[in-house]
């Protein structure tokens, strides 16, 4: 597991905990009080754009913070990431990955995968405010500033570096309740952002509905089109990794990408295009190596 250069601590040891002073908040965020006030008053803080997704044949909206705000969001993210989080959270979590997430279910007889629909846009500013007020015990004005810095149009922005970690903390009570439900059924839970995986020797019929009820309680909805149910020795895909016969394997699609990439490199004559292809191949091969290494641990 990767080591952080900062010591981790419990939530109540965070510098945000019981923070009541706007002056101390500005110092913590490494920004002047005047600039902090300007950020909280400004409405021109984001660039909205649509990014096309060839796989889904549709576009998705990205709400990207402009640089002054992005710097502050990265600072908040850095501080929140120092807080210890439960073992069942695999993203956002330092030293854990989509591969280790899949490995947690490698020997399970039954696997259920759920997906939270539009996780960031469905996480309202009221939930973020609740976290800073009720969990962090910040004063109302400090919680209000942190909420303003963290949200856009009353929800977590899709392009913010802060949204992944804050999506966990904004729903910390929900995840704790879900883990209690899953542990009570002697099953295993992992959470990789909006991808929830539950496994065990058997999964009681009512368990999945209880988990979904927790989603609904917090205003979230599961994406039924992405829900998966695997039983027995059938290969299963968990966070982009194939689990088969007690081992992790690279998906066939990734093997095809590597093959196609090698073929393109052989015939490409443009040096710049060839360089990009080489970089792509290097990334794909590194992914394959990581999966192979995970099997040996």
Q: What is the pLDDT of residues 138-166, one digit of tens each?
A: 999 999 999 999 999 999 999 999 999 99
Residue 223 forms part of a structural domain:
yes
Task: Provide the pLDDT confidence category of residue 2 given band limits of 50, 70 and 90.
Answer: very low
Whether pLDDT at 5 is above 90: no
Residue 163 forms part of a structural domain:
no
268 and 146 in a common domain: no
Task: Provide the pLDDT confidence category of residue 202 given band limits of 50, 70 and 90.
Answer: very high
Residue 161 forms part of a structural domain:
no
Residue 3 forms part of a structural domain:
no
Residue 20 forms part of a structural domain:
yes
196 and 112 in a common domain: yes
The whole-number pLDDT of residue 233 equals 85
| Average per-residue pLDDT for the chain | 95
258 and 279 in a common domain: yes
The whole-number pLDDT of residue 183 equals 98
149 and 276 in a common domain: no
Task: Tell me if 114 sits within 8 A of 208, measured CB to CB.
Answer: yes
The whole-number pLDDT of residue 229 equals 96
Domain boundary among 248, 266, 288: 248
239 and 95 in a common domain: yes
Among the residue ranges 22-36, 40-54, 206-220, the one predicted with the least confidence is 40-54
How many structural domains does the chain have?
3
Among the residue ranges 56-60, 131-135, 242-246, 286-290, the one predicted with the least confidence is 56-60
92 and 226 in a common domain: yes
φ and ψ at 48, to 5 degrees?
-100, 130
Per-residue pLDDT tens digits for 13-42: 999 999 999 999 999 999 999 999 999 999
Residue 136 forms part of a structural domain:
yes
Question: What CATH number did the domain enclosing 116 receive?
Answer: 3.30.70
The whole-number pLDDT of residue 54 equals 66
178 and 33 in a common domain: no
Task: Provide the pLDDT confidence category of residue 1 given band limits of 50, 70 and 90.
Answer: very low
233 and 179 in a common domain: yes
Start-to-end Cα distance in the chain: 11
Whether pLDDT at 4 is above 90: no
Q: Summarize the confidence of residues 163-178 as an average pLDDT.
A: 98
240 and 138 in a common domain: no
Q: What percent of the chain has pLDDT over 70?
A: 96
DSSP codes, 111-153? EEEEEBTTTTTTSBHHHHHHIIIIIS---HHHHHHHHHHH-BT
Residue 164 forms part of a structural domain:
no
Whether pLDDT at 184 is above 80: yes
Query: 76, exposed or middle or buried, with CB in 10 Å at 0-12, 13-18, 19+?
Result: buried
129 and 104 in a common domain: no
242 and 180 in a common domain: yes
The whole-number pLDDT of residue 55 equals 63
Residue 2 forms part of a structural domain:
no
| Structural domain containing residue 146 | 8-80+125-154
Q: Summarize the confidence of residues 216-243 as an average pLDDT.
A: 95
The whole-number pLDDT of residue 57 equals 67
233 and 269 in a common domain: no
Per-residue pLDDT tens digits for 62-106: 999 999 999 999 999 999 999 999 999 999 898 899 999 999 999
Per-residue pLDDT tens digits for 252-276: 999 999 999 999 999 999 999 999 9
């Amino acid at each position: 597991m990767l080591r952080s250069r900062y010591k981790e601590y419990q939530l109540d040891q965070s510098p945000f905990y019981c923070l009541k002073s706007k002056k101390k908040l500005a110092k913590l965020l490494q920004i002047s009080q005047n600039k902090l006030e300007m950020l909280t008053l400004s409405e021109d803080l984001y660039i909205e754009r649509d990014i096309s997704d060839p796989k889904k044949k549709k576009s998705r909206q990205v709400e990207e913070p402009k640089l002054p705000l992005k710097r502050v969001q990265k600072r908040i993210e850095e501080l929140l990431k120092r807080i210890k989080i439960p073992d069942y959270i695999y993203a956002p979590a330092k030293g854990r990955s989509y591969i280790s997430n899949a490995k947690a279910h490698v020997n399970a007889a039954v696997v259920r995968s759920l997906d939270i629909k539009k996780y960031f846009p469905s996480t309202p500013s009221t939930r973020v405010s609740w976290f800073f007020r009720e969990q962090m015990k910040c004063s109302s004005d400090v919680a209000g500033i942190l909420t303003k810095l963290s949200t856009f149009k009353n929800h977590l922005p899709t392009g913010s570096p802060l949204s992944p970690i804050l999506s966990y903390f904004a729903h910390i009570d929900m995840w704790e309740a879900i883990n209690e439900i899953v542990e009570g059924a002697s099953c295993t839970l992992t959470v990789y952002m909006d991808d929830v995986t539950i496994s065990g020797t058997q999964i009681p019929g009512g368990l999945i509905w209880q988990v979904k009820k927790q989603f609904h309680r917090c205003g979230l909805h599961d994406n039924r089109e992405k829900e998966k149910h695997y039983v027995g020795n059938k290969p299963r895909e968990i966070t982009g990794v194939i689990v088969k016969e007690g081992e992790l394997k690279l998906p066939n699609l990734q093997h095809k990408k590597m093959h196609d990439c090698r073929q393109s490199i052989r015939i490409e004559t443009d040096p710049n295009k060839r360089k990009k292809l080489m970089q792509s191949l290097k990334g794909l091969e590194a992914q394959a190596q990581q999966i192979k290494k995970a099997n040996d641990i």
